[in-house]
Amino acid sequence: MRRTRNVKVVATLGPASDTHEMISALHAAGADVFRLNMSHGSHNEIRIKHKIIRQIEKETGSTIGILADLQGPKLRVGVFSGDSEQLVEGASFRLDLDEAEGNASRVCLPHPEIFQALEPGASLLVNDGKIRLKVKDCGSDFADCEVVIGGVISNRKGVNVPDVVLPLAALSDKDRADLEFVCDLGVDWLALSFVQRPEDVLEARELSKGRAALLSKIEKPSAVARFDDILAVSDGIMVARGDLGVELPIQNVPPIQKRLVRKCRAAAKPVIVATQMLESMIESPMPTRAEVSDVATAIYEGADAVMLSAESAAGAYPIEAVRTMNNVATEVEMDPTYTQIIEASRTADRMTVADGIVAAAREIAETTNIKAICCFTQSGTTALLIARERPRVPIIALTPLAKTAGRLTLSWGTNCVLTERLERFKMAVVSAARAAREEGYAEPEDMVVVVAGVPFNVEGSTNILRVAPCDERLIFSADPE
């Protein structure tokens, strides 16, 4: 299904969007990638959603991406004897390992690793930062705190520890089981929650064994501090602004978002901007003006994708939310200012033959009447490099590997076409011309740029560029051999 925009739309599936009819409607409305949240739903429920998406792929002839989002280490308080308590500003409150029910003066925090890392003066945030505690004294099994911001604390509310790098295992036992399940199932992307250090990504890479591309979610200050190292070992990034906005001063989030998006673009790695993008559409068929501006800002920055969470998973208007995101993206990309901003923000260092080839392809396409840039790719790297250039013409990525096509669904402006394995460049040119015509990007009288690597079917060998007619007869007459 050809889109009239370059940025991709990710929609989370959930109770509001778990039927074939609804998932198909979300794809028709604009969803390019579906997110399966492993924090909710059994393995059997995830398997059913996965099967439906693959059925819709066959029915529509589209390539649809599937992103499985691991829960990550969730830190939560225990339970209270009355289910909740009111914490008053200035009062004392203890967190400890005692499993007894909590009260107004204490509650269990069943995570000894937190106590090992805490120091006096550290902050603890409860229930998305609505309650703030300051550590006054701590030991291996307790933390005596002062209530800085009070409020109602109830059973199993989440806890954030922004001031320290926690000695937590990167993947919980649940995450390991979920990872194995979804990799065997055949998802395209695996999102890692609460990444703190590059070693967290490397552990997941060892377990996944290349079966899925790895997307690191940046939602902790420690991840921001070590972002360059995390980016280097990740296949993509999600700017997850929910926990990031809890653990950092809220005004820090927009500049961090801009900085991370630009770094991902320079590295030719897909980046998703996520969390609360159209939050009001959980309950309303219309978004707020501020939310529309938020989505537009991410697109103007050059993000590869924008994501819906509860809006499409549990909201009352999932189709409207996807359609709104699609419409905002389409309108922004028609704005001449968008092109100016995108082209002014190209910052990539070009140091390889492949870098030069894709830059030349963009220059040729934008200075002549070229209809598309077609590339042949095994691993997806060539397509990602072309997408980094943010050309003004469509990108058609031809690959014999369904796995590569699925991973490229997150990449800006990239339209994937599955093709047979080829051994000669001339046949690659013919296949590119045919794909451009059949997918509606060009007519026989038009021209395309073809980028590939010789020898064929070797990763990382991008070294050839040709401007070719879309009329196959002209290709054969110009190069009869």
Catalytic residues: 35, 76, 217, 275
Give the bridge partners for 375, in sequence order.
Answer: 397, 451
Cα–Cα dist 12/408, whole Å: 18
Per the structure block, which two tokens stand in for 198? 């590059």
Q: Using an 8 Å Cβ cutoff, are 208 and 191 in contact? A: no
Q: Which among 343, 420, 352 has a CA at the least distance from the CA of 382?
A: 352
Q: Are 108 and 89 in contact (CB under 8 A)?
A: no
Sequence letter at residue 476 = F
CA distance 133 to 140: 18
Give bridge partners of residue 152 from the DSSP assignment: 86
Map residue 461 onto helix, strand or coil: coil
Query: In what order do the strands lie in the sheet containing 106-108?
Result: 106-108, 92-96, 142-149, 131-139, 123-126, 159-160
Angle between helices 318-334 and 336-344 (to 10 degrees): 80
Q: Which two tokens stand for residue 408?
A: 């490229």
Angle at the Cα of 397 (from 392 to 398), degrees rounded to 5?
150
φ, ψ of residue 168 in degrees (nearest 5): -95, 145
Cβ neighbours around 318 below 10 Å, total? 28
